[in-house]
Amino acid sequence: MGSYLLRRTGLLLLSLALAVTVLFVVLRLLGNPVYALINLEATPEDIRAASAALGVDRPIFVQFADYIGGLFRGDLGTSFSSHLSVSDEILRRLNVTVPLTLISFALSVIIAIPVGFIAAWKSRTWYGTAFSALSQLGGAIPVFWVGILLVTLFALNLGVLPAGGFPRQDWADPLDALTSLTLPVLTIAIVSGSELARYVRSATLDILDRDYLRTARALGQPFSTALWRHALRNGIVPVISILAIQLATTFVGAVVVENVFALPGLGDMLIAGIRQQDFPNVQGVLLFSTVLVLVIGFLGDVLQRLLDPRLRSSLSGNRRAKAAA
C-alpha cells in the first residue's frame, strides 16, 4: 500500500505540474490582455506602458518563473482589471460555489441510490423500467437547459422561487441564501442524480447476479438480510470511486450553472475574466478547479484501495510475481 501511495502521489504531482504549464502557455497564446484594458485611441507608447505595468512585456519564461514562485507562496497573482488578489477573490466566491456543490451532491446521492436500486431490483416491473428511463433521460439533458426549464416553471410561471441572483449580505440571512440556491441545486441534482443512478443500477444488477447472494438466499436468509450483510459491503466499494468522480463533476457543473442563475461564484469570476482577458483570474479559477478535481480523484482511489482487500492483495501478488520472475 505504501508503494501504491508513493506512485499515486507522484502521478498526482506530475499531473498538477502539467496542468500549471499548459494553462499558463495556452492563455498567453490566446491574446494580449493589454488591448482589453486600453481605449481605441491609445498610442504605441501607451501600449508599451500598459504592457510594462502588467508585466507581459517580459519573456514568457520569466513570467512563468515568477508565477511558479508565487504558487509556492500561495499567491495566484493580481487581477489585471480589479487589481485585487486572485487568491482572496477565489476564497470569497467559494462562499457560493462550495455550498452549491455540496448541497447539490448530497441531494443527487439521495436521489440516485433509491432510484438506481429500485431500477435494478425491480427491473422487470413497469416502475423499475420507468425509473431506468427517467435516469437515462435526466442524464441526457444539458444542465443549462434543465435550469432554464426550472426558472420558467418555478420563477416565471409560479413565482415561488427567485430566478437568479444571491443576497448582497451573503450568508447573513441563511434562509434567504438557501432560497436563492434552491433552483441551482435542483438543476445540478437532477442531472447529476440521473447520471449517478445509472451507475448504482449497474452496480446493483451486478451484485444481484453474484453467487454469494444466491448462496445466502439458498441457506434461508431473507433477501433484505442477505443484501445488507453481503451485497452492500461488496457493492459499495466500486461506487466510492464513482462518487468521487461525481463530486468533481458536480463542482464543474456548479461553475456552469452559476452563470445561468447569475450567482457570484467561481463561474461568474471565470466568465468575467475571459471577457476581459484577465489572465490571472482565468488562470486562478481554472487551476483551482483542476487541482480540486485531481485531489478528489486521488482521495477516491486511495479510499477504494483501503476499503477493498482484494485490491490490496492484488498489489501484493503483483510484487511477489515480479520478485519471483
In the chain, domain spans: 89-311
H or E stretch including 226? Answer: helix 223-226
What is the model's pLDDT at position 125?
84
What is the model's pLDDT at position 94?
92
* Range name among 43-57, 60-74, 96-110 with the lowest pLDDT average: 43-57
Helix, strand, or coil here: 85?
A: strand
Which of residues 137 and 54 earns the better pLDDT score?
137
Q: Does domain 89-311 have CATH number 1.10.287.80?
A: no
Over 112-170, what HEC string results?
HHHHHHHHHHCCCCHHHHHHHHHHHHHHHCCHHHHHHHHHHHHHHHCCCCCCCCCCCCH
Contact 200, 117 (CB under 8 A): yes
Section 121-144 average pLDDT = 82
